[in-house]
Structure 1
Amino acid sequence: MKLQRIAIQEFRQFSGRLVIDDLQPGLNLFTGPNEAGKSTIAEAVRAVFLERYKASHLKDLLPWGLASGQPSVEVSFDLDGVACRLSKQFVTRQRCELRIGQAVFTEDEAEDKLAALLGFSRAARGPMKAENAGVPGLLWVQQGSTQEMRDSTGHAAQYLRDALTQLSGGSESAGEDALIAAVQRELRQLLTARTQKPTGPLAEAEQKLAALVASRAELQQQRQQFDDNIARLAAQQEAFDDAGRRRPWELHEQKAALAQQRAAALAELERSVQGLAQSLQVSEAELALSVQQEQGAVELEAAVAREREQFDAARAEVAAAQTAHAQAASSVAQFEQASAGASRALELANAAVTAADLRSQIEFYRAESARLEASIAEADKANEAVLQATREAAALEIDEAQLKRLVALDGELTVLRARTEAAMTRIEYRLSGELSVGDARISGTGVLRVDEEKRIGLGELGELRVIPGVSDLSAQLSALASLEARHAQSLQALGVGSVGDAQARHEQWKTLVAQQKSQAKILGVHAPQGIDALRTALASTAARLRTASERLASLPDVSAAPPLDDARRNADIARDALEAARKVLAQAAETRSTGVATAESLAAQLQRKEAQLADDAFRRNRSQWQANIIEQRVKVDALRTQREGRERELEAVRLDDPAAEAKRYRASAELARQEQHERQVRIAQLRSQLETMGASGLGERLAALDAQIEQATRRKDELSLRASALSLLDEVLVDERDAAVVQLRAPLTERLGHYLKRLFPQSGIALGDDLSPATLEREGRADLLDALSFGTREQLGILTRLAYADLLKTSGRPTLLMLDDAAVHTDAARRDALKRALIDAATRHQILVFTCHPELWDDLGVRLRALEDLKVA
């Protein structure tokens, strides 16, 4: 099958109509960047052949932004030398028409015919599924799926087997396959296909047997439990009767009562100890208060003595501070006089520096004024030259465009005059007499140009009629006259007599313009911002000169001024000394003030505390505090001795912890009563269970279950034996069929080897049952396809599809290969090998290659068709 033309309209990104014709029978390369529409073209071909035209899911084929579009695809192709055309319109006004030669098929009949021709099956409803794609799904590779082979080969496996059967000369036994299918159906009723686990009747038999065995085990467990319950009932009854005789709970209750009495005595002793502790705390607090009051009086006496000493020291410090303050004030006065003298010397030194700066500025301003006056003179001269050149250039200026037109007219006029001169009839004459030419007379020697019919009189001999031989001479003369008029008009417009005059005038104008620019540059050098700016700068410099001179005259006489650095250093030294003296004076004043304040404060505090010690009430209270201290110490010692004795008694009683013992004995009594009650309950439960189980007939039920288990075992063994026999028969039949398939695969294996040796010499591909590549065998090892790199699987995907296409072609099936960006993960060396394989396959098949890397495919010797060019066309 060879595509000849593809027409796509309102299909996804193609909102208009795209036509691709002149498709070659071999290799066709389509290039374009991402989203240029390459995959859309491939999808359009898939849709027109494979999709059902009435499918409702194809709304995604509508052009972008055009919800009311009518996607349609039409292809023209050749099938075994017969011209064919297929057209489909989707979404709205669906239609389908297939023409094969003179035969016309429409709608469902057309789609059934396509499926039979190309080797695929129609989807019952919805979109085309991968399992229905058949041969096109194998040979038409979508973007990013080159490396995926297993599913597409499996879906086309039946078509490939038919081709192999036709090529091998044998026949694949349909009866054998039917027998294998029948055996496998029977086997699948007993065992699962993948895990060989029981299913159907066999699983039911095993489940029934397992349930019966579990029931028997449960009954046996119940009988064992019956026997155990009889023994437990006897043991529980014996323990219940023994406890009823001993009654251990009563003994525990008696012990608990005695322990409770000891606990009450312990509580009374604890209360007595707490009372003594409280009395001791009160006495100790009273003693501490008396001691604290006496300690306060002692501390007051010590404070008075200490503060008297501090007051004497403070008065001595005040006297010393007053002496230091007087000395510091005298020093400050001396340093102030020295600092004032240094400041006057510094002012005179600064005035000397300022005078020197002003003299330097005066010299600079005088030099700048002279420079500006010279620049103004030169600038005026250059400005006058610019104005003169501008006036002269304006007088000679000529329109350059009109000059160009005049030169062009002059050239045309020269050429036309030469042509007219060449076309005119020339008669050279040398006469001894005189002849008439028209109304004129000629004689002597000359040249007569005949631009129209003329009569030459020969006297008695008659006359000659001269007719120019060029038929369009009159037209040339008319054109010449028109051109000469235009030429004269141009000369008049420019005000010149000839082209040479115009050109000479233009050259003079250019010379003057150049002079104008040259003088303008000179003016820019002298006055970059204009002559007015120079004059302004001159006036400003003169004003600054006057100001500097006036300032210099106002300065004092600086002939005796010291150096500025010495004056500044002396001033700094004097200022620092003055600041230091002032700080000393401030510190002495602060020390004097602080000493006076401290002495006054100490005098007031000392007077207040001495008055407090001399107070009669304070003396009486102090005597009372001292007497209370003696009495309270005796009382505290007695209470402490009594409390320690009681605490020793309490510690001895607490060692037995009577309250805990009472609680323990009560809990033991409760547990003994509860255990006796629980024994009574268990005895009743065991008697009830034994009565129930004894009446259920455990022995008869066990015997019936043993019979059912024997019957279920026989049924399960029968089904297992049947499953084993079917498995063995399936293995034998499949081995026989596989041996026949190996013979059928020979043509496909040969084609695979033909292409494979281009990339992988000395290697082979092992095929699976569905004829898809399973392993790559090379260098003594076999690698699963899934273990290979992405690029290697991609390359094998292309080569195997070429082999499948050869197989189908040889068996008479129509083939067409489409590769959409199929070798993007392939290195340069292997890509060259793939190209040679494609060139080889293109001699037998039509191949459409879509790529976004034209630079990698421009060496195949075929034309690269750019999508952008196709869109423009």
Structure 2
Amino acid sequence: MRIDGFRFRHVGPFGADGVAVDGLVSGLNVVAEHNERGKSSLLRALQLFLLQGHTTWGKRGNAIKRDDGSATGEIDFTHQGVAYRLIKTYQRGKDAQLIDRSTGATLAKKGEADERMAAIMGTADKARGPSGLLWVEQGLSMDAVQDDGLVASKLETELSTLVGGDRARDYLARTEAALGELLTATGRPRVGGPLKLAEDALEQVESQLADAHRLREQTRQIGLDLMRVRAALSRLQGEDDDTETDARIAQVRTELDSAKAARASLETAQALAQRLTAETEQAERRLADHLATIARYDRAKQGVTTERKAVTNLMQRRDAIKTSLADIDAQLSALRHSQSQLAAAQSARANVERVQDRQAALQQVESRLEALDTLLADREKQVEARNALPEIDRATLDQLAALEQDAARLEHRLGDVDVQLRLTLEAGATASLDGRTIGSGTVRLDATSELILPGVGRIALDAPEADTLKRDRDGLIVQAEDLRARLGVTDYADAATALRARADIDATLRMTDKERDRIAPDGRDTLIDRKAALLREIETLTDLIAAAPELEVHVDAQTIDAEIATRSGARAALQDEQVELSGKLEAAKTRLDAHQLALTELPESAAPKQRTDTQAELAAAAATTRQRAETALSELETLRAQAPTDPDLLQASLNRLTQVRENRAKQLTDLKQKDVELSARRSGVLDRSDPDLEVKALDGQAETLRETVEQHRRHAQALTLLRDTLGASQRQLQDQYTEPVRRELAPLLARVIDGADLSLNETLGAQGLLREGRDDDLALLSGGTREQIAILTRLAFARLLARGGQACPVILDDALVYADDDRRARMFDVLNYVSVGEDALQLLYLSCHERAARELGGHRLTLTSWLKD
């Protein structure tokens, strides 16, 4: 089928003048118009008129409904070489005609015309036509495409088989049901199933068997433990008693007492030797400290004498320098007075030239101020013009556009919620629908309509989805109205115009600001300050010129400068020497004070009169103490040589012997107690049952249950193998089933997404994108990539349908809004590729992006009025 042209009235935004699109070609057709021109309404009208009977209004009709007349349309198309014209009228005056355009003959009317169209479109036995696959409405370009049976029917003919076959699917279902009685979906035994019951019984018997084995082993172990205890008890009772151990303990105690007494004597002698040694060291330190004090006394005495002489000499030189400095200062004062008179006269001559320069600079500043004031006045007018415009930016403008588009989309979705009622009124009764009086017959309620029965009540569609959609739509409308009110605009166009005007004024203001910065880089106030400064400087210079003195006697400036330099050099040298002398004098005084302070702090014993007697006394005391310490150390060594065994070793031996005696007594008591306990436990076990007989009986039960569990497991394995075999067969056939679609899709997808392939599910819908060894879930991909995959899959379906004799136009309404520049260009190449050649598709591309559509190429169409006959 190929559409050659179409014309509609009273649909969407098109009233009585209607709309006409003629001259469609077999390849790529492009309609690029701005928003609100009704491109989406054209797609919905084509779906309605081609796919639905003339008596069925439905959701498609509500989407383009108008109240100014009945929806009317003509569609010219060619199918299998025959040129047709379909004429339909909906709502009031319902009618349908199918005409042969070459002869003008009417081929069918009303219901027969609807049936002929269903056969031509391939929708006679289908819930949805190929447009559900191939015609993409605005905002739905990312919806995943699924085959509704049309593509499958062609592929089944090509493969001469159905996927898996009914018999294979029946076997697979029966196998899974039988397997489900034994195992869960995760492969675990099903609770309550025969395998799980047998495993539980086996687990219980094996638990009892393990308990029986433990009891039998426990009985045997008790007998072995009892034999070992009695043997140890007999061996311990046959050994010697503790008489020898007691004698050894008494001997060690005697030796320990003797050793403790000897240690006390040794510790006393050691303490005495340590004390006398410390006293000796202290006496020797006192003697050394006395000798060091004598040396410090002598050094301090010599320092006082030396520093007093240095201080006297430095003070005399300082007084001479002060006298010389006074003479030089008097000479310099006279020279500088002469120098200042000469400088004043020279400055007056220079000030005359400066006044002339400042007057020229003042004239330039006044010119710049005048130009700046003119520029600022113009800028103020521009700012006032901009402030009069609504305050709006690009983001706010886009937000307003998004709100209006979202509200329109929800309005469209509201049209999809409707219900059909058959109304029968009594004689004389009336009813009204949306303000119109109606009679008996079929009534269709949509989400926004209300049926009023006077005296009875009101009937409205109870659709929670519709309430949500209306609430969301009303909310968007309120947001858009609030935004327009806040911006102070009436509509989107007004806002866009204001934004452009503000942009133009802002550009002019930027140029004005650049000129202002050129004239006054530091601002107007800086120029004003510069003007005032120049005026003050001119006034000051004029006063200085008037007040300049006149030289009475000619003075040589070079001679004065030379004399001043000479005197200043001499003065600086004296000052440097004065500073150096001050430092030396302060340092000498500091050293003198330090030596005098040291003399006052030293004791009188360091003085020459007392130092000899004190030294002799300290030396004699040190010698006496040293002799006593040497005697105490000699006695300590004698006691150490005579000391007996270490008391700690004797105490350890005593503790060991005592512990041995106590351990033997405790071991005898423990063995006797254990003999009694083990005898009682063995008697208790043997009184209950025979462990060997119980283990034998449980072994038999466990073996029987193991065989039962193994049979169920082998059965489950056989069923699993059968299920997997049938599933593998199904998947193999499915691969054959999906291969034609993948073969058709592969070159298109590779052209758009480098190195990509697509995995399909059993309904031929895309389920994953394969690239670089990864299988990415479609839900995780970007909106642009999902949109491109959905469109490419539809193109592949369309090519398969065309090869099977069921060609249908592909219509895309703004279907590439999420594509970037590179991907959009590649998609445009694909659209041109599939619209040429032996199996060329007829494409109708609708877009509001006129600039982007220019890059698409193709046959350009325009919307014109449908002129009345």
Assess, with a 3 A threshold, how the Cα gap between structure 1 residues 157 and 641 changes in structure 2: closer, same or farther: farther
The aligned residue for residue 220 of structure 1 is 213
Over residues 384-416 of structure 1, what are the superposed CA-to-partner deviations in whole Å (9 max), with x where a residue is unaligned?
Answer: xxxxxxxxxxxxxxxxxxxxxxxxxxxxxxxxx
Percent identical: 16
The aligned residue for residue 318 of structure 1 is 308
Q: How much has 1:189 moved relative to structure 2?
A: 2.0
Over residues 118-158 of structure 1, what are the superposed CA-to-partner deviations in whole Å (9 max), with x where a residue is unaligned?
Answer: 469xxxxxxxxxxxxx9969997998995x97xx75xx688
Assess, with a 3 A threshold, how the Cα gap between structure 1 residues 816 and 713 changes in structure 2: closer, same or farther: farther
The aligned residue for residue 245 of structure 1 is 238
Q: Which amino acid aligns with 1:182?
A: R
TM-score, with length taken from structure 2? 0.53
Give the 5 Å matches for 1:364-763.
Answer: 547-548=544-545, 550-553=547-550, 557-559=553-555, 562-583=558-579, 586=582, 590=586, 613=609, 629-648=622-641, 653-654=645-646, 657-669=649-661, 671-673=663-665, 675-680=667-672, 682-694=674-686, 695-727=688-720, 730=723, 745=737, 749-750=739-740, 753-758=743-748
Aligned mates of 2:599, 2:746 — CA distance in 1: 122
The aligned residue for residue 824 of structure 1 is 819
The aligned residue for residue 179 of structure 2 is 187
Q: Which amino acid aligns with 2:576?
A: A
2:339–2:557 CA contact under 8 A, matched in 1? yes
Q: How much has 1:559 moved relative to structure 2?
A: 2.7
Assess, with a 3 A threshold, how the Cα gap between structure 1 residues 77 and 208 changes in structure 2: closer, same or farther: farther
Assess, with a 3 A threshold, how the Cα gap between structure 1 residues 654 and 755 changes in structure 2: closer, same or farther: same
Q: How much has 1:185 moved relative to structure 2?
A: 0.7
Q: Which amino acid aligns with 2:548?
A: R
- Match for residue 264 of structure 2 among 260, 271, 284: 271
1:775–1:783 CA contact under 8 A, matched in 2? no
Q: Which amino acid aligns with 1:859?
A: G
Q: How much has 1:161 moved relative to structure 2?
A: 5.8
The aligned residue for residue 859 of structure 1 is 857
What secondary structure sits across from 1:552 in the alignment? Answer: coil
Assess, with a 3 A threshold, how the Cα gap between structure 1 residues 194 and 327 changes in structure 2: closer, same or farther: closer
Worse-superposed segment, 764-773 or 707-716:
764-773
| 1:835 and 2:831 are equivalent in the alignment | yes
Over residues 806-848 of structure 1, what are the superposed CA-to-partner deviations in whole Å (9 max), with x where a residue is unaligned?
Answer: 7789799999988854873774674244313675899579888
| 1:280 and 2:254 are equivalent in the alignment | no
Q: How much has 1:698 moved relative to structure 2?
A: 1.9
| 1:348 and 2:338 are equivalent in the alignment | yes
Over residues 492-536 of structure 1, what are the superposed CA-to-partner deviations in whole Å (9 max), with x where a residue is unaligned?
Answer: xxxxxxxxxxxxxxxxxxxxxxxxxxxxxxxxxxxxx9xxx99x9
Q: How much has 1:538 moved relative to structure 2?
A: 13
Aligned mates of 2:814, 2:253 — CA distance in 1: 103
Over residues 36-74 of structure 1, what are the superposed CA-to-partner deviations in whole Å (9 max), with x where a residue is unaligned?
Answer: 999xx99x99xxxxxxxxxxxxxxxxxxxxxxxxxxx99
The aligned residue for residue 85 of structure 1 is 57
Over residues 165-192 of structure 1, what are the superposed CA-to-partner deviations in whole Å (9 max), with x where a residue is unaligned?
Answer: 6897877864553343123211232345
Q: Which amino acid aligns with 2:58?
A: L
Aligned mates of 1:595, 1:168 — CA distance in 2: 121
Over residues 329-378 of structure 1, what are the superposed CA-to-partner deviations in whole Å (9 max), with x where a residue is unaligned?
Answer: 3354345434533453344344334333334446877x899x99xx9xxx
Q: How much has 1:203 moved relative to structure 2?
A: 3.9
The aligned residue for residue 799 of structure 1 is 792
Assess, with a 3 A threshold, how the Cα gap between structure 1 residues 189 and 160 changes in structure 2: closer, same or farther: farther
What secondary structure sits across from 2:689 in the alignment? Answer: coil
- Match for residue 337 of structure 1 among 311, 327, 339: 327
The aligned residue for residue 225 of structure 2 is 232
Aligned mates of 1:742, 1:324 — CA distance in 2: 117
Q: Which amino acid aligns with 1:84?
A: T
Q: Which amino acid aligns with 2:562?
A: D
Query: Highest CA radius of gyration, 1 or 2?
Result: 1
Aligned mates of 2:640, 2:276 — CA distance in 1: 19
Aligned mates of 1:145, 1:674 — CA distance in 2: 94
Over residues 193-238 of structure 1, what are the superposed CA-to-partner deviations in whole Å (9 max), with x where a residue is unaligned?
Answer: 5659788323443454355345435533543443343223212221
The aligned residue for residue 386 of structure 1 is none
What secondary structure sits across from 2:555 in the alignment? Answer: coil
1:165–1:171 CA contact under 8 A, matched in 2? yes
Aligned mates of 1:727, 1:735 — CA distance in 2: 12
Over residues 527-550 of structure 1, what are the superposed CA-to-partner deviations in whole Å (9 max), with x where a residue is unaligned?
Answer: xx9xxx99x989977x95675365
1:167–1:811 CA contact under 8 A, matched in 2? no
1:349–1:561 CA contact under 8 A, matched in 2? yes
2:212–2:691 CA contact under 8 A, matched in 1? yes
Number of residue pairs matched?
A: 613
Aligned mates of 2:180, 2:620 — CA distance in 1: 119
TM-score, with length taken from structure 1? 0.53
Give the 5 Å matches for 1:26-45.
Answer: none
Assess, with a 3 A threshold, how the Cα gap between structure 1 residues 205 and 279 changes in structure 2: closer, same or farther: same
The aligned residue for residue 457 of structure 2 is none
What secondary structure sits across from 1:563 in the alignment? Answer: helix
Assess, with a 3 A threshold, how the Cα gap between structure 1 residues 857 and 194 changes in structure 2: closer, same or farther: farther
* Structure 2 residue ranges without an equivalent (≥5): 63-89, 96-109, 111-122, 364-526, 864-869
1:183–1:729 CA contact under 8 A, matched in 2? yes
Aligned mates of 2:757, 2:357 — CA distance in 1: 99
Q: Which amino acid aligns with 2:195?
A: L
Q: Which amino acid aligns with 1:333?
A: T
The aligned residue for residue 429 of structure 1 is none
Q: Which amino acid aligns with 1:276?
A: A
The aligned residue for residue 52 of structure 1 is none
1:191–1:198 CA contact under 8 A, matched in 2? yes
Aligned mates of 2:280, 2:564 — CA distance in 1: 78
Q: Which amino acid aligns with 1:219?
A: A
RMSD over equivalenced CA pairs, Å: 6.4
Q: How much has 1:713 moved relative to structure 2?
A: 3.4
What secondary structure sits across from 2:819 in the alignment? Answer: coil
Q: Which amino acid aligns with 1:638?
A: T
* Structure 1 residue ranges without an equivalent (≥5): 10-19, 46-72, 91-97, 104-113, 121-133, 376-528, 866-873
Assess, with a 3 A threshold, how the Cα gap between structure 1 residues 257 and 559 changes in structure 2: closer, same or farther: same
Q: Which amino acid aligns with 2:219?
A: F
Q: Which amino acid aligns with 1:188?
A: G
Assess, with a 3 A threshold, how the Cα gap between structure 1 residues 300 and 176 changes in structure 2: closer, same or farther: closer
1:776–1:785 CA contact under 8 A, matched in 2? yes
